Structure 1
């Protein structure tokens, strides 16, 4: 069973609500239209798209190196370790490990973006594990252009109960 209701919200817009009710579910579809000229032609509202001219630049103006990323990671971790109630001062908890990793990843990624390197995509991965005398091997692979892309890794033991492995990748997008 299909039904259509039309509501006029003024002289320049028309909302059309379509209700379709199959046997066991109900769905509502709302379409918004705006008046474009005096001939009463209607076009769907859409967000304006930003168009960029191609630059045909195949190499960066300034390369984001692993050393810069390593220094930034060290700075972010040192700042958090200096805080008295910082999350790195807490004992390891499996319940909170995901929150730790998400918080650290967001801090590092935001700081990498704030450096202002154009056309670089930054990927940050953090693994938080408890220190119980076990061994751990981590491996990662990526397809990259070794001239412009780089990575860094850092291992941190902020307290005796946990260990953090941080991987940061910078990938130049042409």
Structure 2
């Protein structure tokens, strides 16, 4: 698909035409904003592990209490639950923290699993919360990492 741009518009507006279809569109873009470094090395508020753990517990308990293990659905559940957990932790308002949420779901009936993780971080400001949920059919391990961005 060939694109042609014309120079008749201001720097913040571009006009492109699809030669094959003969259709013109106008796209407006904002100028890029450059932010200065604040050199802020410590957070205003440190992410509290028990707050993250409580969120994980609430979400896993409410979403999985009536579920039976299904290997095909588990993949979707993991992504959905991790997104919900991450969103709730971000809603706590800890600015400048990068939030990473992981959820693992497995069957209670099929063997044992060992979960481990390693991170390189500043133990003064970075933290994590975790919770393990279990019902008669499945187990779920939810983990949230809060990494402070300097």
Query: Does 2:125 correspond to 1:148?
Result: yes
**Whole-angstrom CA distance in 1 between matches of 2:80 and 2:51:** 20
Bigger radius of gyration among the two: 1
- Which residue in 2 is equivalent to 1:35? 9
- Please say if residues 60 and 140 of structure 2, whose CA atoms lie closer than 8 Å, have aligned partners that are also in contact: no
Query: Where does the alignment leave 5 or more consecutive residues of structure 1 unmatched?
Result: 1-26, 37-41, 81-85
Give the TM-score normalised by the residue count of structure 2.
0.80
Q: By how many angstroms is 1:32 displaced?
A: 5.6
- Which residue in 2 is equivalent to 1:137? 114
Q: By how many angstroms is 1:88 displaced?
A: 4.2
Q: 1:33 to 1:161 in 2, by over 3 A?
A: farther
Alignment of 1:158-169 (within 5 A): 159-169=135-145
Q: 1:141 to 1:28 in 2, by over 3 A?
A: same
**Whole-angstrom CA distance in 2 between matches of 1:43 and 1:118:** 31
- Which residue, 59, 63, 78 being the options, matches 1:76? 59
**Higher relative CO (CA 8 A, sep ≥ 6), structure 1 or 2?**
2
What is the count of residue pairs matched by the alignment? 136
- Which residue in 1 is equivalent to 2:18? none
Give the TM-score normalised by the residue count of structure 1.
0.70
